[in-house]
Amino acid sequence: YTGKSGSQLLTENLKKLYVKDYQSLPVVVHENFSVYDAICHMFLEDVGTMFVVDQKSLLVGVVSRKDLLRASIGQQDLTSLPINVIMTRMPNVTVCGGDDLLVHVASKLIDKQIDSLPVVREVEGGFEVFGRITKTNITKAFVSLSKDEM
Ligand code: ADP
């Protein structure tokens, strides 16, 4: 018997959960996409957030449901309004890496009141997006922890 409390054991297990084991594929759009095309793409891909990249495939921003709704309220022509005008842009995008702990990502999501983070790797001139981690991924990890006990 180790003498560890239930919460110590839970903490130990939480510290074994890494982003790379729970991430899913990112949905990425080019910064010149129109708001109209971004809305269609979001529906087709069935995601809540898309990551925006430039010509070199480097991360330049994030566009969420609320960003697209906000842009749609006005009288603008959505087919000629590029998403790089309405997105949340770098350096204000919160990112994570595959080797980060899932619990650290969860706490970032709470702090910043957002639903997802791009999983990135640093390359020359910026970040390349290779995954995404959402509240759903974290909920799945939470459930998998409870299954370990059974
Ligand atoms: P939704 O708009 O679908 O509720 P969020 O709550 O995630 O989605 O987004 C709220 C705001 O935060 C939006 O303006 C969005 O651009 C921004 N946002 C989303 N994800 C990030 C992120 N990883 N880093 C910085 N800002 C983000």
Measured in angstroms, how far is the CA atom of residue 48 from the centroid of ligand 1?
9
In Å, how far are 3, 14, 112 from 145, measured between CA atoms?
20, 8, 25
For the chain, state the CA radius of gyration: 18
Q: What is the pTM of this model?
A: 0.93
Instruction: Show the domains of the chain with their CATH numbers.
Output: 6-148 (3.10.580.10)
Alpha carbon distance 35, 26 (integer Å): 19
80-123, pLDDT tens digit by residue?
A: 999 999 999 999 999 999 999 999 999 999 999 999 999 999 99
Is residue 6 pLDDT above 90, yes or no? no
Measured in angstroms, how far is the CA atom of residue 50 from the centroid of ligand 1?
10
Residue type, 132: R
Ligand 1, closest atom to CA 64? 2
57-67, pLDDT tens digit by residue?
A: 999 999 999 99
The pocket around ligand 1, CB under 6 angstroms, is made up of 48-49, 62, 64-67, 88, 92-94, 114-117
